[in-house]
C-alpha cells in the first residue's frame, strides 16, 4: 500500500482570504488542474514574486478586487502569474505546443488583477500567453521575465518611444519592470539613464545603461539634462517636476507603483492618479494618450521577449530563489525593497 499523495493531487500555495502574506498563505495538497480546450498544462519549474502578486495576495488596494480578483476572497486561491516549465498536456485545439516542450509565459490572457495559479506544481494556462523557452536560458531566468517584460513592452514599444538615438530615463531602473526597460531601450539603440538606489547601480550598469544616478544622492531633475522619455516605474515623480527635464516632444510615462501599500491609499491606490493623467493627456502633450499599442498582445510580447533572450539582448537578473513552502518569506523579502534582481520560486 502506498501512502504517497493521491495521483491527482499537487502541492500548491493557497489563500482563503486576503491579507498579509505570512498570515494568509499556506502550502497544501490540492487537485491538479485539468487542461481546457485552448489551454496548456505546464509542470512548473519556476515562478516569480513581484509587486502585482503582492497586490493580489493582500487584496490592496481594495478597488482591485472589483477588477476580477474576487470581492471578499480570491476567486482563485493559488497566487502567481509567471511560469516557466515543461508542457505536460495540451487541450484539443492547441497547435503550437506539445508535451515535453520547455515553455515560459504568463498565466493570464489579459491584463488582470487576480491570482494566476503559478505557485504550484502544475498550472493550466491559455496557449496564447506562452512561448518556447530558449534552451540556453534557465527555467529560473525565464520565469523572471513574462509579467514585467509585458508591462515594459506595453509602455515602451508604442508610439515609437524607443527609436535609435532617443534619450530615455528609467526611474526605478533596478526593479522588475525597470531592469527590462533599460535593456529594451538599449536593444532599440536608445541612450539610457537608470535611476535607483546606490546598491543597485552596478547591476543597472551591467544591463547596459549609459548613465546611472543614485536617487538618494541626487535629484536628476536638477541636472539640466533633457530626455525624450521619462519612464517613472517608481512612480514617485510628477509631470510638473519632470517638465524641465523633457525635450519639447518628450513624454512622461508613469506605471503606478504603490510601494506595497506605503505610497497610496488602502481603497483606491494609484487608480485616481492614473485616471487623472489619462484625462489630462488630452490637453498636455507630454502625457501619452494611451498606455500602449493595441498590437502589444501577450502572444506578440512573449515572442519578442523569447527572441531577445535568445539573442542575448535581455538578461534576467536573479537575486535569490525560494522553495514553494517559503513563498511567504519570499514576499516579505520583496516588500523590504532590498532585492537586487528578481525573486524566484521553485516548486
Piece of 25-33, 37-45, 50-58, 130-138 that binds ligand NAP (CB under 6 A): 50-58
Closer residue to ligand NAP, CB minimum distance, 33 or 176: 176
89, 91, 215, 322: which one binds ligand NAP (CB under 6 A): 215
CA distance 85 to 100: 9
Here's the x/- map for ligand NAP, 163-192, by CB under 6 A: it reads as --------xx-xxxxx--------------
Q: Does 273 help bind ligand NAP (rule: CB under 6 A)?
A: no
The helix (run of H) or strand (run of E) holding residue 187 is: helix 176-187
- Residues 191-210 close enough to bind ligand NAP by CB under 6 A: 195-197, 200
CA distance 339 to 109: 28
In the chain the first and final C-alpha atoms are separated, in Å, by 26
CA distance 67 to 309: 32
Query: How many residues line the site for ligand NAP (CB under 6 A)?
Result: 25
C-alpha to C-alpha distances, 105 to 131, 139, 150, 296, 310, nearest whole angstrom: 6, 11, 10, 15, 15
Nearest residue to 303 (alpha-carbon basis) of 131, 147, 142: 131
Closer residue to ligand NAP, CB minimum distance, 20 or 36: 20
Half-sphere exposure of 97 (CA within 13 A, CB side): 30
Nearest residue to 196 (alpha-carbon basis) of 233, 168, 161: 233
- Residues 216-255 close enough to bind ligand NAP by CB under 6 A: 233-234, 236, 255
Q: Does 106 help bind ligand NAP (rule: CB under 6 A)?
A: no
Closer residue to ligand NAP, CB minimum distance, 10 or 252: 252
Here's the x/- map for ligand NAP, 3-42, by CB under 6 A: it reads as ----------------------------------------
Q: Does 261 help bind ligand NAP (rule: CB under 6 A)?
A: no
Amino acid at each position: 500500500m502506498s501512502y504517497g499523495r493521491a495521483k491527482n493531487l499537487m502541492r500548491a500555495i493557497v489563500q482563503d482570504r486576503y491579507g498579509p502574506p505570512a498570515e494568509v498563505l499556506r502550502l497544501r495538497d490540492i487537485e491538479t488542474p485539468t487542461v481546457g480546450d485552448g489551454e496548456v498544462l505546464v509542470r512548473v519549474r519556476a515562478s516569480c514574486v513581484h509587486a502585482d502578486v503582492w497586490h493580489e495576495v493582500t487584496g490592496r488596494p481594495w478597488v482591485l478586487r472589483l477588477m476580477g480578483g474576487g470581492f471578499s476572497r480570491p476567486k482563485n486561491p493559488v497566487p502567481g502569474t509567471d511560469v516557466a516549465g515543461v508542457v505536460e498536456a495540451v487541450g484539443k485545439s492547441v497547435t503550437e505546443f506539445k508535451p515535453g516542450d520547455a515553455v515560459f509565459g504568463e498565466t493570464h490572457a489579459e491584463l488582470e488583477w487576480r491570482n494566476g495559479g503559478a505557485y504550484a506544481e502544475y498550472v493550466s494556462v491559455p496557449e496564447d500567453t506562452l512561448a518556447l523557452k530558449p534552451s540556453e536560458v534557465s527555467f529560473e531566468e525565464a520565469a523572471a521575465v513574462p509579467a514585467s517584460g509585458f508591462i515594459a513592452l506595453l509602455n515602451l514599444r508604442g508610439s515609437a518611444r524607443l527609436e535609435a538615438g532617443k534619450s530615455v530615463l528609467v526611474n526605478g531602473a533596478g526593479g522588475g519592470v525597470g531592469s527590462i526597460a533599460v535593456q529594451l531601450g538599449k536593444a532599440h539603440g536608445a541612450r539610457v539613464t537608470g535611476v535607483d538606489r546606490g546598491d543597485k547601480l552596478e547591476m543597472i550598469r551591467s544591463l547596459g545603461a549609459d548613465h546611472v544616478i543614485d536617487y538618494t544622492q541626487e535629484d536628476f531633475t536638477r541636472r539640466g539634462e533633457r530626455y525624450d522619455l521619462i519612464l517613472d516605474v517608481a512612480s514617485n515623480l510628477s509631470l510638473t517636476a519632470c517638465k524641465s527635464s523633457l525635450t519639447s516632444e518628450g513624454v512622461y510615462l508613469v506605471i503606478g507603483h504603490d510601494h506595497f501599500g506605503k505610497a497610496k491609499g488602502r481603497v483606491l491606490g494609484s487608480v485616481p492618479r492614473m485616471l487623472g493623467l489619462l484625462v489630462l493627456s488630452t490637453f498636455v502633450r507630454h502625457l501619452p494618450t494611451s498606455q500602449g499599442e493595441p498590437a502589444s498582445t501577450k502572444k506578440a510580447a512573449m515572442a519578442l521577449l523569447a527572441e531577445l533572450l535568445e539573442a542575448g539582448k535581455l538578461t534576467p537578473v536573479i537575486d535569490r530563489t525560494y522553495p514553494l513552502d517559503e513563498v511567504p518569506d519570499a514576499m516579505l523579502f520583496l516588500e523590504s525593497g532590498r532585492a537586487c534582481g528578481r525573486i524566484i520560486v521553485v516548486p
